[in-house]
Amino acid sequence: MTPQSPTTQPKTALVPRRALRDGVYDAILEKLLDGSTPPGSSLNIDSLSRELGVSQTPVREALVQMEHTGLISRTALKGYRVAPPLSAAQMTELMDARAVVEIAAVERAAPRAAELLPDLRAAHARHVLAAHQVARLRGGEGPPTGYADLRECFTADWDFHLVIIRAAGNHFLAQMAESLNAHAHRLRQSVDHGTFDTAQAVAEHAAILAAFESEDPAAPVAAMRAHLTAIDHRSHAEEDADA
């Protein structure tokens, strides 16, 4: 009888463990972004494990992963706390960094417009549907019941950007973009949940899509730059309104 490879069992166990950690991460992220766990709140590992019905291990792993996004911070002997929202200066720095990375990606992806257009159209269609769902649930009278629909809209929004970033064909650009998107959750955390920019984002994505369809290599760069500038202006408008 051939002995079982000692590496077989750990490899098969990694997938469900990672899936559990990612599920816990998403659940905690939702608590942070829907306002139920505001900035400064403590995050107790034992309480979270009981609330989510899991052991402390995936909770601890998810919190370690989340600490890298800046959404939470860990203090010795005090544990984890929800970090404060981004300051105005930090918002500007984040959007400036996104512009550097994403404009570079668009410049590299533009010559491959014919290849990326089917995926970009599909991503845009998913974003339109997700934004429509959020608008329908809001009904003009506040945020949707439950945060899952808004999170789905955020995901669809980012997936549109990812199509372009991946079409650039640069692994390191993609890594930088993914890292910046993790920090963008803090920008979403600072947004007043009574007002969302889903309609504006959809319209701006439509302009980017049209720019790629135009076959003018300069048009997608201009459209993406306009989109990122508009996001920056909206984020500061929210802060000014709260001041």
pLDDT digits (tens, 9 = 90+) for 162-194: 999 999 999 999 999 988 887 777 666 655 444
CB-based contacts of 91: which residues, under 8 Å, 6+ apart? Answer: 187, 190, 232, 235, 236, 239
Q: Among residues 82, 110, 143, which one ends one of the domains? A: 82
**Confidence (pLDDT) at 11:** 47
The answer to whether 110 and 210 are in contact (CB under 8 A) is no
Q: What is the pLDDT of residues 77-102, one digit of tens each?
A: 789 999 887 888 888 898 999 999 99
CA 148 to centroid of chain Cα atoms:
13
If asked whether residues 126 and 56 sit together in one domain, one would say no
Backbone phi, psi, residue 225, to 5°: -60, -40
Asked if the model's pLDDT at residue 200 lies above 80, the reply is yes
Decide if pLDDT at 120 tops 60. Answer: yes
The answer to whether position 21 is within a domain reads: yes
Give the model's pLDDT for residue 71: 85
Residues 129 and 210 in one domain: yes
Q: Which domain holds residue 140?
A: 88-242
Residues 94 and 78 in one domain: no
DSSP secondary structure letter of residue 43: E
Yes or no: say if 105 and 173 are a contact pair by the CB < 8 Å rule: yes
User: Do residue 30 and residue 74 come from a single domain?
Assistant: yes
Average pLDDT over residues 132-153: 69
Of 215 and 35, the structure prediction assigns the larger pLDDT to 215
Domain boundary among 82, 102, 125: 82
| pLDDT of res. 22 | 86
Higher pLDDT among residues 117 and 7, named by residue: 117
Q: Are 165 and 195 in contact (CB under 8 A)?
A: no
Q: For the chain, what is the domain count?
A: 2
The reply to whether 1 falls in a domain is no
- With contact defined as beta carbons under 8 Å apart, do 216 and 204 qualify? no
> How far is CA 65 from each of CA 62, 68, 115, 157, 169, rounded to the nearest angstrom?
5, 6, 34, 22, 26
Task: Return the structure tokens found at 126.
Answer: 């998913």
